[in-house]
Amino acid sequence: MNHQNNLKVNNEYPVYNGDLGLHEILHKGMKRKAAAIDFYTRLVDYAPNQSHCDDILQILEDEKAHFHQLDHLYRTITGHQVNVQIDPIPFQTYQEGLKIGYKEKIKQYQGDRNTCYSAHNSQVGDVLLYICLDEIEHAKRLEMLKYSIDGRQLQLRDYGPNPFVVNINEVTKENHNFRTALWTGQHLQVTLMSIGVGEDIGLEIHPNLDQFLRIEQGQGIVQMGPRKNQLNYRKTVRDDFAIMVPAGTWHNVINTGNIPLKLYSIYAPPQHPKGTVHKTKSDAMAAEAHHHHR
């Protein structure tokens, strides 16, 4: 939902003290709900599986319903409509988003609870009480989601060359390093990659091996060609797209979305030392430079 006007969100949680008018109480509530809609719209893209996605989507739908209820009351009381502009609530990872969402819900619950019991308009009080009860249910749900992630999250390390089975979609999304070697065997290697917004893997070539990549989150552009300055193959890629890179082909993958691009890559034979972890692209470039100068 896109709400725009000349008002800035200050994320205050109103407590009715006799000085605030009903229109201001409702307006502040609408601001918070608009910010929440934006927040959960972004958070759902980070969900590691369908179950988590469904829970976040349900919270998002409730937030939209709350906004419409407050908006309806505002127009009924004031006789005119107002739009709101938000400052997005930042987060870097799914776990961080769940933690922030939980804290915001507790703040909203406390603010709405105090306000609904003090409001002199019974209709406004009833709506705020209804929203207040939803806030605490949402907080419980977010807390459960975070516990489920913390309790089952696989340690991301190199499990090769031992037999190994994993949900590749989940571990790919859980990886926050530029590159993490997940499994290195004698003839094959699987690495996880996280490409930041506006960043890329980096133009490279593997003269003697083919490469497979699969996108698990985000969107981007893949470029391939016979020479650095002749990348005449160009395709848009997104979730569930696979990329096959022939040996001897220059290639690059660029993140064109607004969230990290998460993918995994399969090399045969391995291209990185067992246990490789590059937290950033700069780390990866430094490691490559060191390797070539040995």
Written as one letter, the residue type at 151 is: G
CATH superfamily for 168-292 is Jelly Rolls (2.60.120.10)
| pLDDT (0 to 100) of residue 258 | 86
- The C-alpha atoms of residue 153 and residue 222 are separated, in whole angstroms, by 30
Chain centroid, CA 138 distance in Å: 18
pLDDT tens digits for the chain (294 residues)?
333 333 333 333 343 344 357 788 888 889 999 999 999 999 999 898 888 999 999 999 999 999 999 999 888 888 888 888 888 999 988 889 999 999 999 888 877 777 766 666 677 878 888 898 899 899 999 988 988 776 566 788 999 999 998 889 889 988 989 999 999 999 999 999 999 999 999 999 999 999 999 999 999 999 999 999 999 999 999 999 999 999 999 999 999 998 899 999 999 999 999 999 999 998 888 887 665 555
- The C-alpha atoms of residue 86 and residue 57 are separated, in whole angstroms, by 20
Burial 22-31 (b: 16+ CB within 10 A, else e): beebbbbbbb
- The C-alpha atoms of residue 45 and residue 142 are separated, in whole angstroms, by 15
Return the H-helix or E-strand segment holding 110: helix 94-118
- The C-alpha atoms of residue 203 and residue 252 are separated, in whole angstroms, by 5
Unique residue bearing structure tokens 């005119």 = 80
| pLDDT (0 to 100) of residue 151 | 59
- In CATH, the architecture of 22-152 is Up-down Bundle (1.20)
Helices 122-152 and 94-118, axial angle in degrees (round to 10)? 160
How many residues are there in the chain? 294
- C-alpha to C-alpha distances, 288 to 61, 206, 282, 283, nearest whole angstrom: 47, 13, 10, 9
Of 36, 15, 35, whose CA–CA distance to 24 is shortest?
Answer: 15
All structural domains of the chain with their residue ranges: 22-152, 168-292
| pLDDT (0 to 100) of residue 251 | 98
Q: What angle do CA 238, 240, 242 make, to 5 degrees?
A: 90
Decide: residue 196, CB within 10 A, 0-12 exposed, 13-18 middle, 19+ buried: middle
Q: Count other Cβ atoms within 10 Å, centred on residue 187.
A: 9
Written as one letter, the residue type at 32 is: R
| pLDDT (0 to 100) of residue 1 | 37
> Phi/psi of residue 254, each to 5°?
-115, 130
